[in-house]
Structures are given as structure tokens and as C-alpha cells.
Structure 1
Amino acid sequence: MTTTILDARALVGDTFESVRRTILDGNPDMSSDMAGRIATEAIKFVVACAQHPAVGMAPSRIVDEGWHALLLHSAAYAKLCAKFGGMVHHYPGWDPTHYDPPILDRTRQMIEKAGFVVDEELWRPPTDDLLVSVAAKCQHAPECTIRPMPTPQPPVA
């Protein structure tokens, strides 16, 4: 384990273990170590998004599993986002065929720019289940990039 991973985990304090367990709840066949890696990458992703709101980013399908778990811990999630720039809202996309490699490349670059080492194995294309299969099947695509932005307003009738 590197210092960078420990720093990412420290950003959510005691909540990290609960996020890891949430990932395991949805993926009972996953190892505890893998769930921890996924949670760590989700934290890095959220920090990068909050720090760079003008850059469209998206998680890999595997990291998205960790992001979903992190979102469920709303107080810690809001605090993390606020500390690094602003709320990172989740706008899911459900079609794994809507995949554009540059979006993951750009996201990895922004995570590195935020000061983290990327766990490259967890940033594979959405069709690659060689490392681990996850419960969540959403995939974020170029038209569904993630940026900190205002809460969407309901449509005017």
C-alpha cells in the first residue's frame, strides 16, 4: 500500500470502513481488499471532480461501484466534496456500450493532477470483467460526464 492510498482513505476517516462494507454488501463474493481498493479510487475520483469542475470526468464501471457506496454516506460525502471545491452530483448512465476511452484517460490524468497515484487495474473499459465483476451496471459516457454543478431544477410544467 502506498502513502497516497492511505491519504485518500484518511480523507473520509472512520467512514472508509463503512464504505468498504457497503461495497461488500452489494458484492458478497468480492474480497475485502478489492472493496477497499474500489472505495479508495472512488474517493480519489470525487476529489478530482471537485477540484476540477470544468473538466468532464467519469468513473470506470468498477470505480462507479465505490462511488455509489460513498454517496450513501451523504454527510461524509458532502464534507469531502466541500473540502475540495463543491458538490459532485451523480448522473448515472445505464448503457455500457456508451463508452469513450478518452473519458477514462482524462479522468485518470485529473486524479494524478489531484496528487494521487491511480490504481490502473480499476480503470479498465466497462466490458472488462477480468479483474472483478461488480453489481452496478451503469457506465458514464461522453454525454454523461460528471461535473460539480447546481442541483437540477424540476421541469417547468
Structure 2
Amino acid sequence: MGQSARELLTDDQFAAVCSTVQTDNPDSTAEDATAVVTEALAFVAACALLPAARLVPSRVVDAGWHALILHTQTYAELCARLGGFVHHRPEAPDPSRYDHDVIDRTTAVIQEAGYSVDGDLWGPPDGDLVSVASSCQHSDDSGPIVTMPKPKG
């Protein structure tokens, strides 16, 4: 079992992002928000640490990523600490584009990066165990996510 990505943010930063998840998803519990943000942090960390992997979040994890991105200073500082800025390119949701193999590869890479994975948050868009209002989906590894490494020098 890997480490929790929760430690990538300070308590105040983490609480602020969790609050955004709950504001955007009024039916979510504090426990749900904590799980979603933790998983989004692990996803972003893996993207930054292994940019060639071309990872894709589940719809639930993407909702946590959206909340994190809204905290621009926190997000920029996180990406800088991780070594590369992880850009987000949204796509309209389409459950027919869900690819279980891509999600499996993504969670495997997150684990390779040293983070634990909550499998309940990586299901298909129509089978989410945590309800989110996200209107974005990443379907494959053809390019919705781009990591730009920090300039050298």
C-alpha cells in the first residue's frame, strides 16, 4: 500500500479544496470530499512525476482535480513542488468513451508513483459510488492532459 497524497497540501489548503468539492457537490459528505481530493492529489502527483504516462482521471477524481485547480496558488505551488505543471483540457462527458483499460493503467501508474489508490473512486461514469456534479470527462490518453516540466536553469 502506498502513501496518502493527503500530505501534499497543508491542512488549510486541503480543507479549502475539500470545501470547494462540497460546495460544488452539495450531497457529498466531508468524508467523500476528503477521499475525492486525496485521490485527485495522487493523480496530479503521478501526472507530474511521470509525464510520459499520459494518465486519465475518473469522473469523480476529475471533480477533485477541478476543485484543486480553482485554488490557483495552491495548485501552482503543488505542481512546482512536484516538478511539472499539469494542464487540464476538459471534454464533454460521454459514458460511451469510458475505457476501463486506460483507468487501470492510470491507477497502476499512481501506485508506481508511491501513492495509494481508492478503487471506489475509479469506476465508470454511470457507476460512481460518490456523487459529483462534474461535467467533464477524460476518455483516453490521446491528449486531454499535458504536463509541462519546469524550465531548467
How high is the TM-score relative to the length of structure 2?
Answer: 0.89
Stretch of structure 1 that moved more, 40-49 or 106-115: 106-115
- Number of equivalences: 146
Match of 2:9 among 2, 12, 16: 12
Structure with a larger share of its residues in strand: 2
Matches within 5 A, 1:7-156: 8-13=5-10, 14-96=12-94, 97-129=96-128, 131-142=129-140, 143-149=142-148
**Letter in structure 2 aligned against 1:34:** D
By how many angstroms is 1:141 displaced? 1.4
- Find the aligned partners of 1:56 and 1:3 in 2 and give their Cα distance: 21
Structure 1: runs of 5 or more not aligned: 151-157
Task: Tell me the percent identity.
Answer: 48
By how many angstroms is 1:25 displaced? 0.2
Distance 1:140-1:70 versus aligned 2 partners, 3 A rule: same
| Native 8 Å contact 1:48 1:114 kept in 2 | yes
RMSD: 1.7
By how many angstroms is 1:10 displaced? 2.1
By how many angstroms is 1:12 displaced? 1.2
Cα deviations by residue, 1:62-111 (Å, 9 ceiling, x for unpaired): 00110000001111111111112200000011132222112111110111
SS at match of 2:39: helix
Structure 2: runs of 5 or more not aligned: none
SS at match of 1:137: coil
| Native 8 Å contact 1:45 1:59 kept in 2 | yes
By how many angstroms is 1:3 displaced? 8.2
- Find the aligned partners of 1:73 and 1:124 in 2 and give their Cα distance: 26
Moved segments of 4+, more than 4 Å:
none
| Native 8 Å contact 1:54 1:147 kept in 2 | no
SS at match of 1:127: helix
